[in-house]
Chain A
């Protein structure tokens, strides 16, 4: 009962039938997405194989510097991904705020989670550090993307109403308040909604993975609850920091809207 079914490469290959199926749909409907689908499937496979071998090596040779290096790479890649997505509308100042919010928000949550909640020993134990950091950074990246999108769009589309508020004596914060609150809402709602459906509509990926690899479901659930709350914290803190400092980048030191 408790034996773990190992997947052979051939078995994994069989799952590619789904990609072929989607390719068939795309061909039949004439939707031009074949190239992206193929590239993303191949990238996903190669990246995961590489990271699998990397993790095997890292787990066998735990070292604080290696753990730190991996976190730095993950954080940098997350910031780079956001920058690449929004580079046309991002100012240098807002990019800096994104990097700062990501670093402070995720690192503080990861530290609390590992040292106080999980009590990992040693603290840099890659088996805990890397997957937990990955989930927090990944989810925070999605949150920040949503916040950046809403903030930059709001400050562009509603520029007139922000200016009207300034003219009437509002501080920049008061003038941008509606946009800031809307951006925060839009960024954390997906996390809140996913908690509502969890366990009923779907089993979260992390828990599913643990159960498939032989972990007792109660242990998996305990981790899932804790990590979900950690993700909520990390997303909320990063987004909060981004918005609280990010809105200022749309105003000059003289509290005027930037041209």
Chain B
């Protein structure tokens, strides 16, 4: 369970109270500038609240080692960066950071398959289109097998039909593997259709949803 208690972040976000149950899919919607990305960054501990506290299973995030936390609560950024090298290098970089054993190529190809990216592992990432880069970054995040997965506009660079397939894959992945998926999306209909709960933000405040 994730709880927000009187959380403020500068003038961007102001959440007096919010509870997000772990497990299932939570969608965060709202106009641009409403604090959606900031909310995810706070959950990933890429930033810390200006005041207030965020608790994960009752433990204040400020008392947890940030690196270990980020390994358990991974995030796909809105404009993910790819690292120099080929597709394989990029898929395994998160595992390298964890000093984990690297998976065989079959697993890497399966991860690419999950995000509908049919490319050779040795292909240079410079040849990828915007949508392909985003899907590669998504596959990279899924390979980390984290308990909580934060996605910031995972479909922003995708066409409608690919976005739909990706959302279906992600939601079934989360349910089958008992993961918590929290995704920011501007697709209001996707949010309604694929998520278990929706949090709407306007001007840094929650307007509906909230404690569910």
Contacts and interface: CB of A to CB of B under 8 A. Distances in A.
Which has the most chain B C-beta neighbours within 10 Å: A161, A168, A170, A254? A168
B158 to A, nearest CB: 19
A163 interface: yes
A174 B97 CA distance: 7
A164 interface: yes
Contacts of A174: 97
A85 B64 CA distance: 39
B48 A167 contact: no
B83 A255 contact: no
B80 A169 contact: no
Given A168-B93, A169-B67, A169-B144, A254 B81 contact: no
A254 B66 contact: yes
A227 interface: no
B70 A254 contact: no
A167 B44 contact: yes
A160 interface: yes
Interface of A: 160-161, 163-172, 174, 254-257
Interface of B: 44-48, 62, 65-67, 70-71, 74-75, 77, 79-81, 83, 93-94, 97-98, 140-141, 144
Given A168-B94, A169-B70, A254-B66, 20 more contacts: A160-B81, A163-B46, A163-B81, A164-B77, A164-B81, A164-B83, A165-B97, A167-B70, A167-B74, A168-B70, A168-B74, A168-B140, A168-B141, A169-B71, A169-B94, A171-B97, A255-B66, A255-B67, A256-B46, A256-B47
